[in-house]
Amino acid sequence: MESFDELFSRRGFDREEIAMTAAGPIVAWSRMAGEARPTVYLSAGMHGDEPAGPLAIEAFWREQDPREVNWLICPILNPTGIQARTRDNAEGMDLNRDYLLQRSLEVRAHAAWLEKQVVPDLFLSLHEDWETEGFYFYEISLGEDQPYRARRILDEVRTVCPIEKNRRIDDHEVREEGWIHHEPQADFPDSWPEAIFLAKRGCPLSFTFETPSCALPLAQRISAQGAAIRAAMDEIR
């Protein structure tokens, strides 16, 4: 994953170190295509024991270069967790519950960076789940209900990876198989994940993709994340 420097520099991204941790910097990448273009924000590596997300970003950008949008990308949000392969950072904090109180240096710096950027039109957040057997995702939408978007993502992912069958996942009832349609409110008022922070900033649409980290090989999870990213991107062009 140290190859992000080479990969994104070669593709014309600007590199910004937004914080320094004991395991190296948190790097944000951006590449603007023009004000008239939509902005897509892609994040991964928030939980250090969920490798498919960062690797899917790498694979996505090695395969294709979709130039027509503005890109914001944070591929490794938790360097100390990635180094130790732990969900939490080195201080034992779950960064994806810290976007309201911002007690961790990582989230403080990352939230400040996000506040300097244009509010994205689409946020894609890559995660994994240790307890499920198939792919699922959260949608947070501030606009009109457009269920076909979710179904298209599931149809694409289904070609490479099973969809989670449980009707109840991570304490949420699914709307349809594999699809949690989440209110733009945190489950616990003080524990905001990144997707809630983005929704509160006015980001109209976010998808948080979850691949089953125990149930399937890494390569298949990376393919599932890639299929989901491409399907979601089809909605924004």
Q: How many residues are there in the chain?
A: 237
Considering only CA atoms, which of 116, 163, 155 is closest in space to residue 135?
163
Instruction: Compare residues 47 and 182 and give the one whose CB is closer to Zn ion.
Output: 47
Least separation in angstroms between CB 24 and Zn ion = 20
Range 88-110 burial, b when 16+ CB lie within 10 A, else e: bbbeebbbbbbbbebebebbbbb
How far is it, in rounded angstroms, from Cα 126 to Cα 184? 18
Least separation in angstroms between CB 128 and Zn ion = 6
Binding residues for Zn ion (CB under 5 A): 47, 50, 127
The distance from CA 145 to its chain's CA centroid, rounded to whole angstroms, is: 21
Instruction: Compare residues 50 and 88 and give the one whose CB is closer to Zn ion.
Output: 50
Least separation in angstroms between CB 206 and Zn ion = 14
Instruction: Compare residues 21 and 43 and give the one whose CB is closer to Zn ion.
Output: 43
By beta carbon distance, the residue nearest Zn ion is: 127
Instruction: Compare residues 50 and 164 and give the one whose CB is closer to Zn ion.
Output: 50
Least separation in angstroms between CB 94 and Zn ion = 9
